[in-house]
Amino acid sequence: MTEGSQRPIAATIAVVVREGQVLLVRRANPPDAGRWGFPGGKIETGETIEQAAIRELYEETEIRGEALQTFTAVDVFDHDEHGGLRRHFILIAVLCRWCSGEPVAGDDALEARWFDLADLEDANVALSLNVSEVAWQAAAMRDDFSETL
């Protein structure tokens, strides 16, 4: 990819925190194939960020959720084997409330499951960049939402 030949791709991630646990999927496709991250994907034309987060959450995990708040964005750079930039994603994080369902891997997820927040620091868990930080930020926000509900 030549610089400036392609614009960043807008995508969303659904961050679901429930009872001290966060929902993650092990990615089947680049970027970060094989690593654990949040359910998410590209935002479709005419779809809001929140609608995309809820759709992707269900497609990848069969979890039904409710979007509460968009709260941060992170850059993800997909590089080829020579270090060249293939794609640049901007992942927009949406805090979601769990409504129903248990995680079942679907769409482009190899696995889907709940992780204890404390286990995210475990070196044996291959996480995508920024997952731990975003999860803890969401957990703090979720606590704030719980107090106001």
Domain chopping of the chain, boundaries: 9-148
135 backbone dihedrals φ, ψ, rounded to 5°: -65, -45
**Whether residue 133 lies in the annotated active site:** no
CA 58, 62, 66, 71 dihedral sign is: negative
Q: What percent of the chain has pLDDT over 70?
A: 92
**pLDDT single digits (tens) 118-134:** 888 876 788 998 999 99
CATH code for the domain defined by 9-148: 3.90.79.10
Structural tokens at position 89: 């994603």
73 backbone dihedrals φ, ψ, rounded to 5°: -140, 145
**pLDDT single digits (tens) 42-66:** 999 999 999 999 999 999 999 999 9
- Reported as a pLDDT band with limits 50, 70 and 90, residue 32 is confident
**pLDDT single digits (tens) 84-114:** 999 999 999 999 999 999 999 987 899 999 9
Q: Name the catalytic one among 59, 111, 121, 133.
A: 111
| pLDDT (0 to 100) of residue 121 | 81
- Reported as a pLDDT band with limits 50, 70 and 90, residue 33 is confident
Burial of 131 (0-12, 13-18, 19+ CB in 10 A): buried
* Alpha helices, DSSP H, located in 22-126: 49-61
CB 127 within 8 A of CB 34: no
CB 137 within 8 A of CB 117: no
User: What is the reported pTM?
Assistant: 0.90
| pLDDT (0 to 100) of residue 23 | 98
